[in-house]
Chains A and B, each alone.
Chain A
Amino acid sequence: MSDIQIVDAPPGVEGAGFFATSIDKAIGLGRSFSLWPLPFATSCCGIEFMATMAPHYDLARFGAERLSFSPRQADLLMVMGTIAKKMGPVLRQVYLQMAEPRWVMAVGACASSGGIFDTYSVLQGIDEIIPVDVYVPGCPPRPEAIIDGFMHIQELVRTETLRRRNEPRYQQLLASYGIQ
């Protein structure tokens, strides 16, 4: 007997021989379990992420088996580590090269707020240059915390409407970062 579990169907109308749901629920379900993360790892949080990826914690269980090292093929930018101001434009460039829809996760204190590096040479949180969806606290966070953050991203992906990226509010958010 196989004990493989598959994800539940999204809410919808079910009857004899048919099942109807809205397309963004179906697409959201598909996207949330096939996210391709781009690890942007610059320091110790990146080491924790290596453990998260590896068999013991196994990020692949959440449909993120395939880490993309090209921003053009990535859905989720995971920024893990201190971002120096000189690195800022590089990170921004990586974000700009990702195709919509794209999500960003700031892992650890440094990526979220600058952490202990309250100094002239370090970016005080990556949200100064790109919009962030989920912040994972910790210095560094344990792999469980990174997985929890990843599952929050999955929740965002699952519940996002197909129109969100075209809404004026989203355009405004991007414009406030000087994107587009």
Chain B
Amino acid sequence: MGKLTNAEVLEKISDKFHDLVVLVGEPSGLLTLETNREQIINVLSWLKNEPVLQFVYLTDITAIHYPELEKPIGVIYHLHSLVNNVRLRLKVFLSDDDVHIPTATVLWNGANWMERETFDFFGVIFDGHPDLRRILNVDDLEAYPMRKEYPLEDPNRVDKKDYFFGR
């Protein structure tokens, strides 16, 4: 067990941000919060510099796509407080026609490649990122492959066509 419990972390955060940061749940004991894109850098910055919490380590930035939601693209931040041995997950949901969010490279240089990857796969545009271009996929890929509307399979594949299986 860590020195800080989820309840203590949550209390400190809600004292500071009130209803700007909302509790989503604690799946598998991982405190999960949601905020909005106007607040995200504020929240991250405060979490990093708060003298007790000290969430100094940015584990990952990624995204998720729920096409059925009103705001389908979620950007997800994983933070780790190395001193307190506690982790935290922050989510920000964005609407389909406006997938802009401020960059976290102002706080962690390590966010650079994570944001490039998130841009590469989900098309999330991180405003203020120093070099936002594709990192893993081929440069001329026309889609954001982890979005649900994009088919996973390669269309050039021929040996799985129905007529080979009598369909």
Report which A residues bind B (CB closer than 8 A): 85-86, 113-114, 118-122, 124, 128
The reply to whether the CB of B156 lies closer than 8 angstroms to some CB of chain A is yes
Most chain A CB neighbours (cut-off 10 Å) among B150, B151, B157: B157
| Complex Cα–Cα for A128 and B143 (A) | 21
Report which B residues bind A (CB closer than 8 A): 136-138, 141, 143, 145, 150-154, 156-160
- Residue of B141, B154, B160 near A122 (CB, 8 A) is B154
List 15 A–B pairs whose Cβ atoms lie within 8 Å, in order of A's numbering. A85-B137, A85-B138, A86-B136, A86-B137, A86-B138, A114-B154, A118-B152, A118-B153, A118-B154, A118-B157, A119-B154, A120-B143, A120-B150, A124-B157, A128-B156
Minimum C-beta distance from A178 to chain B (A): 16
- Assuming the A-B contacts A86-B138, A120-B145, are A113 and B153 also in contact, with contact meaning beta carbons closer than 8 angstroms in the complex? no
Minimum C-beta distance from A34 to chain B (A): 35
Minimum C-beta distance from B56 to chain A (A): 34
Interface pair B160/A118, CB less than 8 Å apart: yes
Minimum C-beta distance from A136 to chain B (A): 16
Interface majority SS (helix, strand, loop, mixed), chain A: loop
Residues of A within 8 A of B136 (CB): 86, 121
Interface pair A120/B159, CB less than 8 Å apart: no
What residue in chain A is nearest B150 (Cβ atoms)?
A: A120
Residues of B within 8 A of A114 (CB): 154, 157
Minimum C-beta distance from B152 to chain A (A): 6
Interface majority SS (helix, strand, loop, mixed), chain B: loop
Residues of B within 8 A of A86 (CB): 136-138
- Assuming the A-B contacts A85-B138, A86-B138, are A121 and B145 also in contact, with contact meaning beta carbons closer than 8 angstroms in the complex? yes
Most chain B CB neighbours (cut-off 10 Å) among A85, A86, A120: A120
Kindly list 14 other residue pairs between chains A and B, CB separation below 8 angstroms, not including A120-B145, A120-B151, A121-B138. Answer: A85-B138, A86-B136, A86-B138, A113-B159, A114-B154, A114-B157, A118-B152, A118-B154, A118-B160, A120-B150, A120-B153, A120-B154, A121-B137, A124-B156
Minimum C-beta distance from A122 to chain B (A): 7
Minimum C-beta distance from B90 to chain A (A): 28
Residues of A within 8 A of B158 (CB): 124
| Complex Cα–Cα for A86 and B136 (A) | 8
What residue in chain A is nearest B160 (Cβ atoms)?
A: A118
Residues of B within 8 A of A118 (CB): 152-154, 157, 160
| Complex Cα–Cα for A7 and B158 (A) | 41
Minimum C-beta distance from A121 to chain B (A): 6
Minimum C-beta distance from A116 to chain B (A): 11
Residues of B within 8 A of A124 (CB): 154, 156-158
| Complex Cα–Cα for A151 and B158 (A) | 28
Most chain A CB neighbours (cut-off 10 Å) among B138, B141, B160: B138
- Assuming the A-B contacts A85-B138, A86-B137, A86-B138, are A119 and B156 also in contact, with contact meaning beta carbons closer than 8 angstroms in the complex? no
Minimum C-beta distance from B142 to chain A (A): 11
Minimum C-beta distance from B162 to chain A (A): 15
| Complex Cα–Cα for A119 and B156 (A) | 10
Minimum C-beta distance from B8 to chain A (A): 43
Minimum C-beta distance from A124 to chain B (A): 5
Minimum C-beta distance from B113 to chain A (A): 16
The 8 closest A-B pairs by CB, nearest first: A124-B156, A124-B157, A118-B153, A120-B145, A86-B138, A85-B138, A124-B154, A118-B157
